[in-house]
Structure 1
Amino acid sequence: MTTSDKSGRKGEQPAMKTPPVVSPQAWEEARKQLLVKEKAHTRARDALAAERRRMPWMLVEKAYAFDGPGGKASLLDLFEGRRQLIVYRAFLEPGVFGWPEHACRGCSMVADQVAHVAHLNARDTTLVFVSRAPQADIARVKARMEWKIPWFTITDTFDADFGVDEWHGTNVFFRDGDRIFRTYFINNRGDEQMGGTWNYLDITPLGRQEVWEDSPEGYPQTPTYKWWNWHDSYVADAPPDKKWVEISSAGEAAFRKESASTKA
């Protein structure tokens, strides 16, 4: 196996010790064996999320101020009226490698992976990024990189108070009226799984809010799949689309039938 450097010259690359090549039947058997472990991993992940929903909360007593596209904003304003808020601290500011054209490479990779926030919004959840760069610079870099995430400027000790002054991290907050609670925090490799709607919801106190989840009594839950929509078609408090309910129910029924026949 060969590789090329920047000049186009080819050099030898150490031989890879690849797995054996087998028949389709043997490959399928190997896949099924691994699938047992993958399903156990999924169940463990769901159990961990259920435990996370039962973690104690911490009351946020200090008032924090941010600069946003519309001017000054409080931490309460960042919720945009929703009950849950996820805040990722991104390093986009003077002193960061890549400035002023870019944010930190790692934080930029996180931003590149963020799914459309409308799906989080539909679950009463707001996602924002915060940095220390002025809003003009944030807007410029966002436009260059085609990022659509709401992005605010830290103006006080928010980053130091929530463990993200010297390293990236994701804080989760819950709003009860005007009271704000810190409910969870991840950083380091915990942040590398972020970007997808499901992973974000799994770190929130309310979770995915679907009926299969193990959540405390009284938590909001709706039928699985039924709330899904095109990202430009969500309407607040609108019932699920009847046609989509029929389609998703038919899909669930077919899956259950296939699973039952496989077990038999």
Structure 2
Amino acid sequence: MSPSDPKHAVVSRGQWLAARRQLWLHEKAFTHQRDELAAARRALPWVQVEEDYRFHGPHGELGLAELFAGRSQLLVYHFMFAEGWDEGCPGCSFLADHFDGANLHLAHHDVTLAAVSRAPYAEFQAFRQRMGWHFPWFSSHGSRFNQDFGVSVATDGSAEYNYEVYTGNEAELPGLSAFYKEADGRVYHTYSTYARGLDILVNAYNFLDLAPLGRNEAGTMDWVRHHDRYEGMASKPHCCKQ
């Protein structure tokens, strides 16, 4: 099916309803499977975090437990922004455009959502201001946090990404890690996901999946730009220094 010339059967309303009811059965089955998958995710064993990771934010240095901001659950988005870059990865930025709206609600349900990047804190402040984001965003510069959680990787074939041998050529990659903090301050790593596992964070994709042509992309996120680089927005050359 060509996106510019979509060929579909055209039927009566009654025939459409019959086909729609069949799809509805598949959708209901998928909903139950998704619930089962979420339960299995929550049932994973936990690993206590014993490394004293240090981060840098607007008020100086802090530890992992402090990123929770008084809550018991922490979701860290591993945002691709390495030292020396002028702007963040367009794909990570696409995801991050969804964070502030989610945080309006997550913050009132015992969950903190924050981003962490390997670049020094000062290096991504101009980009953050340009994007207009307000979610917490910290630097892990000087610690092994990114390496230990599988998003800063070697490109010589000796590393893993997304739970398999990594053969790509990008040293910085996206991911999300979840943590839980006990009342006594102990922190546990509960879950991490990478690559297509991050689709669930992109609500724009959920809308596209309901549209007639779906995601309509030749490659994952090939059409995505920083939100100020789409046609009709501020005109600047598109780049992502690596």
Residue 32 and residue 130 in structure 1: after superposition, are their counterparts in 2 closer, same or farther (change >3 A)? same
Read off the aligned partner of 1:143 and give its amino acid letter.
Q
1:141 matched to which residue of 2? 127
Alignment of 1:105-254 (within 5 A): 105-114=90-99, 115-155=101-141, 156-166=143-153, 167-177=173-183, 178-195=185-202
Work out the CA distance in 2 between the residues paired with 1:22 and 1:28: 10
Residue 14 and residue 34 in structure 1: after superposition, are their counterparts in 2 closer, same or farther (change >3 A)? closer
For residues 126-181 of structure 1, give each alpha carbon's deviation from its aligned partner in whole angstroms, at most 9, with x where no partner exists: 01001122323322111111122110001200011111113211110000021000
Q: Does 1:31 align with 2:16?
A: no
2:191 match: secondary structure? strand
Distance apart, 1:17 and its partner CA:
5.4
If the length of structure 1 is used for normalisation, what is the TM-score? 0.64
Distance apart, 1:16 and its partner CA:
3.7
Identity of aligned residues (%): 42
Work out the CA distance in 2 between the residues paired with 1:77 and 1:169: 20
Work out the CA distance in 1 between the residues paired with 2:80 and 2:152: 9
Work out the CA distance in 2 between the residues paired with 1:85 and 1:172: 6
Distance apart, 1:24 and its partner CA:
1.8
Distance apart, 1:188 and its partner CA:
0.9
Show structure 2 runs of 5+ residues with no match: 154-172, 207-242
1:117 match: secondary structure? helix
1:172 match: secondary structure? strand
For residues 203-222 of structure 1, give each alpha carbon's deviation from its aligned partner in whole angstroms, at most 9, with x where no partner exists: xxxxxxxxxxxxxxxxxxxx
Work out the CA distance in 2 between the residues paired with 1:181 and 1:61: 9
**Equivalenced residues, count:** 181
Higher RCO, 1 or 2 (CA under 8 Å, sep at least 6)?
Answer: 2
Work out the CA distance in 1 between the residues paired with 2:107 and 2:55: 21
Work out the CA distance in 1 between the residues paired with 2:119 and 2:34: 36
Q: Does 1:86 align with 2:78?
A: no
Read off the aligned partner of 1:175 and give its amino acid letter.
K
Work out the CA distance in 1 between the residues paired with 2:3 and 2:68: 52
Quick check: 2:81–2:89 contact (8 Å CA) kept in 1?
yes
Work out the CA distance in 1 between the residues paired with 2:128 and 2:24: 40
1:69 matched to which residue of 2? 58
Work out the CA distance in 1 between the residues paired with 2:90 and 2:68: 27
Q: Does 1:103 align with 2:88?
A: yes
Distance apart, 1:29 and its partner CA:
1.8
Residue 68 and residue 195 in structure 1: after superposition, are their counterparts in 2 closer, same or farther (change >3 A)? farther
